[in-house]
């Protein structure tokens, strides 16, 4: 085995870990693979003998590659104009691979990906490297171009945003979560009876026109009428997960981990008394989103 073959073998031994680092930072398997490939190309441009700790070198390089990709993504990101949300969600599902979706949910979670996407690039890298991979701050600092102290502050700020601040007590939060999860289960199954069991008799459903099929009212009142719309919500529910929305238990709909809808939910007396489906990007950005602990 020549030096190049040996280097390739050592890189392949690290590939799975590198992919995991990149995937958690970027939230996209496709971009993660691109980052891994770029890391391999950079490795081929250095003298292998000058790399004392190859795993550490590779992790540092791929983290920098991911940081550059996040910065590039942030500078060019645009929301689609005029596209119906129902269509964009359906198209994302049809283009997607069910195994991809399973990987997305199992390894990170939709809500976590959505919240990570609200962080600045340096915050996201610092948080993921430290809180997920236990990388010391003095090793992260050169990657994000900050001092060790400033890097700790980056990760702390990111952690606070990821965890959020509930607006109610832990006991009440837990009760509300059970109600919202039952609501979501009913939506996923398109189960009218299950919906009726969790809705208040005078429940109000509001939704933006972009979310709804043509000729469906933006506001519906009454448990029976709302429950009969289960199929409408059910099309989105496959991409949904509970989350903390402005301190209350709500739902995010995120095909491929990219936020498409926020559903705010009001719970009274252990029933859903009101909910609203929000698609408008400007409105979505005004909400503080966080991850609910398991």
Tens-place pLDDT, residues 108-123? 888 999 999 999 999 9
Tens-digit pLDDT profile for residues 247-294: 999 999 998 888 999 999 999 999 999 999 999 999 999 999 999 976
Q: What is the pTM of this model?
A: 0.83
Query: What share of the chain has pLDDT > 90, as a percent?
Result: 66
Q: How high does pLDDT run on average in the chain?
A: 87
**Comparing 9-13, 135-139, 213-217, which segment has the lowest mean pLDDT?**
213-217
The matching CATH number, chosen from 3.90.1150.10, 3.10.450.50, 3.10.50.40, 1.20.210.10, for 170-290 is 3.10.450.50
**Identical fold, 3-74+120-163 and 170-290:** no
Whole-number pLDDT of residue 231? 61
Where in the chain are the domains? Answer: 3-74+120-163, 170-290
* Range 116-122, long-range pairs (CB < 8 A, 24+ positions): 116/27, 116/162, 117/27, 117/257, 117/258, 117/259, 118/161, 118/289, 119/158, 119/161, 119/162, 120/74, 121/67, 121/70, 121/71, 121/74, 122/67, 122/146, 122/154
pLDDT at 229 over 70: yes
| 27-55 average pLDDT score | 89
CATH H superfamily, domain 3-74+120-163: PhyR, sigma-like (SL) domain (1.20.140.160)
Residue 56: pLDDT band with limits 50, 70, 90: very high
pLDDT at 125 over 50: yes
């Amino acid at each position: 085995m020549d030096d190049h073959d040996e280097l390739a073998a050592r890189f392949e031994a690290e590939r799975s870990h590198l992919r995991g680092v990149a995937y958690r930072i970027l939230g996209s398997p496709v971009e993660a693979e691109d980052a891994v490939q770029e890391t391999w190309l950079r490795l081929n441009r250095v003298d292998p003998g000058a790399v004392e700790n190859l795993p550490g070198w590779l992790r540092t390089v791929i983290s920098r590659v991911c940081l550059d990709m996040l910065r590039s993504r942030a500078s060019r990101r645009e929301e689609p104009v005029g596209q119906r949300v129902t269509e964009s969600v359906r198209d994302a599902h049809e283009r997607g691979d069910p195994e991809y979706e399973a990987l997305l949910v199992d390894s990170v979670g939709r809500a976590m990906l959505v919240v990570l996407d609200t962080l600045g690039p340096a915050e996201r890298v610092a948080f993921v490297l430290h809180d997920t991979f236990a990388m010391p701050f003095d090793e992260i600092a050169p990657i994000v171009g900050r001092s060790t102290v400033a890097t700790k502050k980056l990760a702390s700020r990111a952690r606070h945003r990821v965890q959020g601040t509930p607006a109610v007590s832990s006991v009440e939060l837990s009760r509300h979560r059970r109600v919202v999860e039952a609501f979501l289960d009913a939506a996923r199954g398109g189960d009218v009876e299950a919906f009726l069991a969790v809705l208040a008799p005078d429940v109000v459903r509001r939704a933006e026109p972009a979310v709804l099929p043509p000729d469906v009212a933006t506001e519906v009142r009454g448990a029976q009428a709302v429950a009969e719309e289960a199929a409408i919500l059910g099309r989105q529910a496959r991409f949904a997960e509970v989350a903390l929305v402005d301190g209350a238990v709500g739902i995010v709909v995120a095909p491929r981990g990219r936020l498409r809808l926020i559903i705010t939910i009001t719970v009274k007396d252990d029933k859903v008394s009101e909910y609203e489906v929000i698609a408008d990007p400007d409105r979505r950005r005004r909400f503080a989103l966080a991850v609910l602990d398991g």
